[in-house]
């Protein structure tokens, strides 16, 4: 449904920051493949036991040993709004050399990889950089 879900506790700092209206981002990295994504999200903290039952898995049990009976159990619902990703097939050494060349030349680095911005509010339009 275009949402990211995370289990949390009601008194966790992340839940408190979201309740206070703080900006939220989800970040995914795969250093082995040089792939990085940041996702700006709208977020809510929910006490929705039906959704918790649907999303529950064994690994969550390790963090919440009382299971679904834990009164502090909550869900964070993240709705992506703006995504930005970087993907590079070059090795770290090549990327460093290209960035150093850019620094010395005063021009942005070229040939490092793909960088796209996707605005989820505009039905997934992407702009390359």
Q: Answer whether 83's CB lies under 8 Å from 117's CB.
A: yes
User: Residue holding tokens 């979201």?
Assistant: 18
SS3 127: strand
Whether the pTM exceeds 0.85: the reply is: no
- Token readout for 117 is 């911005």
The secondary structure of residue 44, as a DSSP letter, is E
Q: Could you report the per-residue pLDDT of 23-82, keeping only the tens digit for each?
A: 898 888 776 667 778 889 999 999 999 999 999 999 999 999 999 999 999 999 999 988
Residue whose C-alpha is closest to residue 129's, from 119, 115, 118 = 115
Name the one residue in this structure whose structure tokens are 């275009």.
2
pLDDT for residue 125: 44
**How confident is the model over 61-73, as pLDDT tens digits?**
999 999 999 999 9
Distance CA 28, CA 30 (A): 7
């Amino acid at each position: 449904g275009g949402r990211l879900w995370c289990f949390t506790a009601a008194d966790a700092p992340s839940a408190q920051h979201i309740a206070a209206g703080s900006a939220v981002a989800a970040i995914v990295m795969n250093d082995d493949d040089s792939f990085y994504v940041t996702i700006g999200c709208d977020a809510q903290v929910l006490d929705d036991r039906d959704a918790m039952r649907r999303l529950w898995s064994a690994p969550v049990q390790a963090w919440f040993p009382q299971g679904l009976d834990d009164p502090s159990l909550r869900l964070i619902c993240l709705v992506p709004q703006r995504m930005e990703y970087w993907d590079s097939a070059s090795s770290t050494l090549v990327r460093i050399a290209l960035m150093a060349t850019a620094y010395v030349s005063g021009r942005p680095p070229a040939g490092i990889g793909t960088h796209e911005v996707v605005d989820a509010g505009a039905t997934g339009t992407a702009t390359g950089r």
